[in-house]
Amino acid sequence: MSEGYDPGCAVLSVHNLTKSFQGVDGPVPVLRGVSLNLGPGETLALTGESGSGKSTLLHLIGGLEQADSGTIDIDGTRLTGLSDRGRATLRRGTVGVIFQQFNLIPSLTVAENIAFQARLAGRYDRGVTADLADKLGLTAQLRKYPEQLSGGQQQRVAIARTLAARPRLVLADEPTGNLDEDTALRVLETLCDLAKETRSGLLMVTHSVQLASKLDRRLHLRSGVIT
Ligand SMILES: Nc1ncnc2c1ncn2[C@@H]1O[C@H](COP(=O)(O)OP(=O)(O)OP(=O)(O)O)[C@@H](O)[C@H]1O
Ligand SMILES: [Mg+2]
């Protein structure tokens, strides 16, 4: 176990995770024994060149794909032993994902999109939602529909939607990739503040050294291992 954490206390504990994809000449290893831990309220930046496996790692932790071997524990539950249904439940209630595709629901307003996941998780709170919309600069957009928003506004709605459900673990894949520098920094601050406030963990992929430096810890993925 890396860094000497007690995995029982960790929000996220990944041990010796491996994943290969089928290539033309057989399996191509993408992750070759990745281990990491994240404590309550801790924020971690994951960097690595394009194709190094960052999104793959987030997909495995988010329960969207299955690892070949190794273990993932989220808030004391072993994800790697769960059925599809169990993984879906954990995803709904415990893990919040912010991926590069926003997947907003086009027929719902911004306000409804933000509330949707929180309602599914049974944690909708009007005050929390309004506060998030304010912090993410979305208050004026609440009655609009996703198609009426810019790419950066849609990205912030996707972030608000995830945070409104107050997950124990937030997985974010370049969550500020569509934002200008100042807005990106503000959004990152909101993500970090919320992690501290709610003692949740944040694992964020970023290509930006500047953004990575704002987080508590940084890990680099190279040739399928953490360096
Ligand atoms: N479903 C899949 N089937 C086959 N190969 C895949 C699949 N998903 C990812 N890969 C391969 O795994 C490797 C890692 O991909 P991944 O998307 O995790 O990289 P990344 O670090 O997120 O890159 P980027 O910074 O460009 O987003 C790549 O070589 C990619 O082609
Ligand atoms: Mg990626």
Is pLDDT at 4 greater than 80 in this prediction? no
In a domain, 113, yes or no: yes
Tokens of 8: 């029982």
pLDDT of 79-115, one tens digit each?
Answer: 988 888 888 888 878 999 998 788 899 999 999 999 9
pTM: 0.92
Distance 29 CA to ligand 1 centre (A): 11
What single string gives the DSSP state of each residue in 44-107?
EEEE--TTSSHHHHHHHHTTSS--SEEEEEETTEEGGG--HHHHHHHHHHTEEEE-SS----TT
pLDDT tops 80 at residue 1: no
Site to probe by mutation for ligand 1, drawn from 30, 46, 59, 60 as the one with most ligand atoms within 8 Å of Cβ, is 30
Nearest ligand 1 atom to the CA of 56 is: 18
Q: What does the pLDDT look like over 167-198, one tens digit per residue? A: 999 999 999 988 999 999 999 999 999 999 99
Question: Is 44 inside any structural domain?
Answer: yes
Give the angle 152-156-157 at the CA atoms, nearest 5°: 115
Ligand 1 atom closest to Cα of 221?
A: 21
Read off the CATH number of the domain in which 154 is found: 3.40.50.300
In a domain, 209, yes or no: yes
| Average pLDDT of every residue of the chain | 92
What's the residue count for the chain? 227
Total domains present in the chain: 1
Confidence of residue 2 (pLDDT cuts 50, 70, 90): very low
Give the position, in ligand 1's atom list, of the atom nearest the Cα of 53: 18
Residue 154 lies in a domain: yes
The boundaries of the domain holding residue 212 are 40-70+77-226
Instruction: Supply φ then ψ for residue 192, to 5 degrees.
Output: -70, -45
Residue 90 belongs to some domain of the structure: yes
Enumerate residues lining ligand 1, CB below 6 A.
21, 30, 48, 50-56
- Does residue 25 fall inside a structural domain? no
- Which tokens in the block code for residue 131? 């506060």
pLDDT 10s digits, 120-169:
989 999 999 999 999 999 999 999 999 999 999 999 999 999 999 999 99
Q: Is residue 46 part of a domain?
A: yes
Residue 30 in domain: no
Q: Nearest residue CA, atom 16 of ligand 1? A: 53
